[in-house]
Structure 1
Amino acid sequence: MLQMPSAEEYQALQQALLEAKRQSDEAARRNASLIGELRVVRSERDLLLEQLNKFKRQLFAAKSEIGATQQKDMFFNEAEELGAVAKPAAEEGEDETLDVPGHTRVKRGRKPLDPALPREVVRYELPESERVCPHDGAALQEIGVEASEQLDIIPQQVRVIRHERVKYACPCCDAGLRLAAKPDQVIPKGLFTEGLLAWVITSKYMDGLPLYRQAALLGRFGGTDLSRNTMAASVVRVGQAVQPIINLLRDRLLEAPLIYGDETEIQVLKEAGRKAQTKSYMWAQMTEGSGAAGCGPPIRLFAYTPSRSTEASLGLYAGVSKGSVLMTDGYEPYNYVAKTNKLVHLACWAHCRRYVNDALQALPKDKRSSEQLAVQLMDLIASLYEVESIARNEGIDANALTLRRQEQSVPVLKKIEALLLANHHAVAPTTLLGQALHYAVGQWSKLERFVHDGKYPIDNNACENSIRPFVIGRRNWLFADTVAGANASANLYSLLQTCKASGIDGYRYLKELLIQLPKARTVDDFEALLPWSISTSKS
């Protein structure tokens, strides 16, 4: 017969059951907590892996968003790499034949050399004894030449210009002493001629050649022991002397109906009240058409500021024409610039595409299917650019481009907007995809604005291309020593990039500018020294 447990035993069993349930609940809570912690750890791991892969791509991968390209910076082994597959340039006018299935294709020879380059003619004549016809013994007569051309170079030739000011005196008295005048120089009593100053500046800011390397190069060609500090001081003096030209360029840029803006970091070592490691900034402003009508020459301007603040950006755009168009990235101070000056503000689709591409590249290659949001967005953005590319190739005007954008780009924008609204709350903002979505959503009103006018650009690539030489050159000299040096660099970059945008030889322009600049006294004098006004034919 089954014996019922006593009250004490029943109570003990009940307590044990409650304790077991408590422990089970505790284990379940602990398990749920660990699962949550695991999710957080995995999310942090995935985020760190995304960042790590992004940094690896920045260091080692091709930078193009279009796809992998051949690495161009071979540096030391460039000649060996190229020599293995390349052939010397064919003689001018020589055509090679290539066998192609179905027919023979003619491959044209090299392009002719620049006809503006000076020519030195080397003639090859038959000896007198061979100028006789082997058939009838008659003397051969010259009927023409068969010409070919090679490119040659004369290395830097360092010379000294000795200035002799002739003194005159009256032979009859001591009151007639006179001294011939010497033209004013941009650097009074300076060591370097205008030509050498122009060469140093162009080499530094166009070719990215640091001053210490230039000093060594000049020493190798001329045996001259030049001080890098002397060269640097001369560059700064020139950068300060051209300020009136920069002021005129800025006036014309701020009148333009469309301005591009961007900024990048620069380090200035000796700045009052700031550590040497503190970041400063170089701002870029450019227009493809200067003046109020937007029909003037293109202008590229750089300006140094110690910070990236709203006040700094407002100062750079002080005096901009109301109602002009401003194309920038998503940096917040530009919003204040546009609002304060009542500008039409456009955002950059290239920046948006770059964020999406970073998210796409973070995916394993086998996961990059059409179902992935990053893939869909990249395809849609590519469609926007395809519309622009076809229109550009066809050469249609702004009105026709407006109509085409309304017909072809607006439907694409609606698809992009639908994807953004459906997904941006569901993706963690710390992930690369989350950053891309939140950037696009935050900039959307400015991103979609380009379709309203065919004169509006789709991106800020024009300004980024303008600022790229500065970024590349910065890798060679890393920092500016002083604030004066940073301001001088900004001015000289501005002149050289403006010259480049108009197809003007920067060296020739600078040389002639430095010769003429000391003579300028009035606004009209300085106007005549703008890159597109000054004559460089004799430089």
Structure 2
Amino acid sequence: MTTITLSADEYQALLAEQQRLTHQLRLMTVERDLLKERVDAFLRRLFAAKSEARANPAQRDLFLNEAEALAPNGAPVAEEALPEAVEVAGHQRKKRGRKPIDPHLPREIVRHELPEAERVCAHDGTRLVEIGAEISEQLDIVPQQVRVIQHHRVKYACPCCDESIRVTPAPARIILKGLLTEAALAWVVTAKYQDSLPLYRQAALLGRFGGDLSRTTLAASMVRVGHAVQPIINLLRDHLVEADLILGDETVIQVLKESGRTAQSKSYLWAQMTGSGPPIRLFSYTPGRGGIHAQPLYDGIKPGVALMSDGYEVYNAIAVARGAIHLGCWAHSRRYFIEAEAAIPKAARNAQQPATQFIAAIGELYTIEANAKDLSAEQRQQRRQEQSRPVLAKIEALLLPHLHTVTPGSLLGKALHYLASQWPKLTRFVDNGAWPIDNNRCENAIRPFVVGRRNWLFCDTVAGARASANLYSLIETCKANGIDPYAYLVELFRKLPLAKNAEDFEALLPWNLTPSAH
């Protein structure tokens, strides 16, 4: 056996090299784990369920991303199977049966009569008389009817000379010499921006009923009508900046033809909504996401207004510049912990995991909110002071020990640092019962646009993007006010060309305009 003798200097050099390699291995291991965590998170985003619902029934409906409610067997609940409540002594018994058809729908009566030969009593031969009828109803659907409105502008002339020929002037139209009527324009707008039906599908659908319209014609009409409603959008913005509570969010939109930018460049659609006063939903297009684009959208808001947003730093700059009270979104904070918990192997998951503890504590805040949703703002503020403040103290006590003991680049580290950076904003909601705990209402308002984007994918031009933002604003504001968008748009398109002054335009806002029968 050979013995190797090292000098003290050689030994120290070897020891230093060993420590360097050990440190490098530790760094590579951490980097590998972080990269694996990111890949797993990306795969979950692509293929896993998007719902953030938890097992606690009190929290279940607060975080659902899906619009459909599922029955216990996993099938969608059919409207016809909704139960009726029947009063029975001592309790209510649920009666199963078909839900009645809307009584306001027009009805066509079809009589089914016995043949003459069968209207005779089998016992004594007397002729039977009518004593009533058994009534059942079916829902009938009449397909779209495409027709042509032919306008005859009558000409008048003097029978004695050729000097006095007059023609009845053309009626005012929202699109000068437009091919589509106001009702047709409203149908196309609601089909695209409410029902997410792309224009090429609308063109194909109309073609089956004799409406030979190209997608280019429909697109040009949408751009023109979207610009024509700009005075109403301006008035909505005037009302929005006067609100005491404003919620904001943004999402990506792609515009193919934009000067100085490639087709792959990201543009943005900004959503703003009121949390007080008339319900308003506004969408605005910008070519970027920086403060230079966002700041003008909040020009004119009152100092002291409450601004609810996610943790994007631009909103903080807006709040500081405008003297607003910036509120943080607990749903965003919770989402980071959901992602961190999902990265934990199932075998290692338990109630003692930090991510799970934070999720449970945040769930307590939402349980308090759910129980206080029917209270007045003053009562809700008192409830928050009494019940939510202790929960916030518990979350803060849980945050401090973990903040500097977790790798910042990990999913849990990101969740902790987001919570720490947003903490002052996240705790302000307890000071006012009218302030929301999260930005979910604004996210829900922007979701129809995201659904539509999956179908039509992009906007062709900047003019089209801005027109789409205007039309989305009208559709979502109508829905927020409980107004049928189609009926409102038909009336708006008919009356907007006749508006001359500020009072006329104010009367055309969704909550002021009453559709008339035509």
TM-score norm. by structure 2 comes to 0.91
> Identity across aligned pairs (percent)?
59
SS of the equivalent of 1:222 reads coil
SS of the equivalent of 1:255 reads coil
2: CA distance between counterparts of 1:387 and 1:281?
A: 35
Matched, 1:186 2:167: no
Matched, 1:158 2:158: no
How far residue 263 of structure 1 moved from its aligned partner, in angstroms, is 0.6
How far residue 184 of structure 1 moved from its aligned partner, in angstroms, is 1.0
Letter in 2 for 1:252: H
Of 354-363 and 503-512, deviating more is 503-512
* Aligned position for 1:244: 231
1: CA distance between counterparts of 2:376 and 2:256?
A: 48
Letter in 2 for 1:326: L
* Aligned position for 1:453: 432
SS of the equivalent of 2:494 reads helix
Matched, 1:516 2:504: no
Letter in 1 for 2:165: L
Runs ≥4 residues deviating over 4 A: 21-27, 67-74, 82-96, 103-106
- Specify which of 312, 328, 332 is matched with residue 351 of structure 1: 332
Residue 281 to residue 85, structure 1, CA distance change in 2 (3 Å): closer
How far residue 335 of structure 1 moved from its aligned partner, in angstroms, is 1.1
Residue 246 to residue 71, structure 1, CA distance change in 2 (3 Å): closer
Q: Quote the RMSD (CA, aligned, Å).
A: 3.0
Matched, 1:433 2:412: yes
Letter in 1 for 2:202: Q
* Aligned position for 1:229: 216
Of 150-159 and 428-437, deviating more is 150-159
* Aligned position for 2:468: 489
* Aligned position for 2:299: 318
* Aligned position for 1:267: 254
Are the aligned partners of 2:247 and 2:439 in contact in 1 as well (CA < 8 Å)? yes
Matched, 1:148 2:136: yes
1: CA distance between counterparts of 2:217 and 2:368?
A: 53
Residue 71 to residue 183, structure 1, CA distance change in 2 (3 Å): closer
Q: Rg bigger for which structure?
A: 1
Matched, 1:43 2:34: no
How far residue 526 of structure 1 moved from its aligned partner, in angstroms, is 0.8
Of 243-252 and 398-407, deviating more is 398-407
Matched, 1:126 2:107: no
1: CA distance between counterparts of 2:437 and 2:398?
A: 20
Letter in 2 for 1:504: I
Matched, 1:473 2:447: no
* Aligned position for 2:289: 308
Deviations 1:354-407 (A, max 9, x none): 011110111111211122100100000000000001112xx2111111111111
Residue 162 to residue 416, structure 1, CA distance change in 2 (3 Å): same
* Aligned position for 1:379: 360
SS of the equivalent of 1:132 reads coil
1: CA distance between counterparts of 2:490 and 2:334?
A: 42
2: CA distance between counterparts of 1:230 and 1:200?
A: 11
Are the aligned partners of 2:83 and 2:95 in contact in 1 as well (CA < 8 Å)? no
How far residue 194 of structure 1 moved from its aligned partner, in angstroms, is 1.2
Residue 185 to residue 88, structure 1, CA distance change in 2 (3 Å): closer
2: CA distance between counterparts of 1:387 and 1:83?
A: 30
1: CA distance between counterparts of 2:478 and 2:140?
A: 26
SS of the equivalent of 1:265 reads strand
Residue 532 to residue 359, structure 1, CA distance change in 2 (3 Å): same
How far residue 105 of structure 1 moved from its aligned partner, in angstroms, is 6.3
- Specify which of 39, 44, 52 is matched with residue 39 of structure 2: 52
Letter in 2 for 1:158: V
Are the aligned partners of 2:244 and 2:275 in contact in 1 as well (CA < 8 Å)? no
1: CA distance between counterparts of 2:465 and 2:393?
A: 45
Q: What 5-or-longer segments of structure 1 have no aligned partner?
A: 1-12, 75-81, 97-102, 291-296
2: CA distance between counterparts of 1:110 and 1:442?
A: 53
SS of the equivalent of 1:433 reads helix
Deviations 1:465-489 (A, max 9, x none): 0000111111111211111111101
Are the aligned partners of 1:260 and 1:460 in contact in 2 as well (CA < 8 Å)? yes
How far residue 350 of structure 1 moved from its aligned partner, in angstroms, is 0.3
SS of the equivalent of 1:164 reads coil
Residue 280 to residue 66, structure 1, CA distance change in 2 (3 Å): same
Deviations 1:221-240 (A, max 9, x none): 2151x222221111010010
SS of the equivalent of 1:284 reads strand
Are the aligned partners of 1:92 and 1:148 in contact in 2 as well (CA < 8 Å)? no
Are the aligned partners of 1:91 and 1:148 in contact in 2 as well (CA < 8 Å)? no
Letter in 1 for 2:194: M
SS of the equivalent of 2:5 reads helix
Letter in 1 for 2:367: E
How far residue 307 of structure 1 moved from its aligned partner, in angstroms, is 1.4
* Aligned position for 1:411: 390
Are the aligned partners of 2:339 and 2:411 in contact in 1 as well (CA < 8 Å)? yes
TM-score norm. by structure 1 comes to 0.87
Residue 121 to residue 55, structure 1, CA distance change in 2 (3 Å): farther
Letter in 1 for 2:42: F
SS of the equivalent of 1:17 reads coil
- Specify which of 349, 357, 364 is matched with residue 368 of structure 1: 349
Residue 446 to residue 534, structure 1, CA distance change in 2 (3 Å): same
1: CA distance between counterparts of 2:359 and 2:218?
A: 48
2: CA distance between counterparts of 1:91 and 1:521?
A: 51
1: CA distance between counterparts of 2:20 and 2:358?
A: 36
Q: What 5-or-longer segments of structure 2 have no aligned partner?
A: none
How far residue 435 of structure 1 moved from its aligned partner, in angstroms, is 0.6
SS of the equivalent of 1:18 reads coil
Are the aligned partners of 2:50 and 2:65 in contact in 1 as well (CA < 8 Å)? no
1: CA distance between counterparts of 2:73 and 2:400?
A: 53
Are the aligned partners of 2:146 and 2:210 in contact in 1 as well (CA < 8 Å)? yes
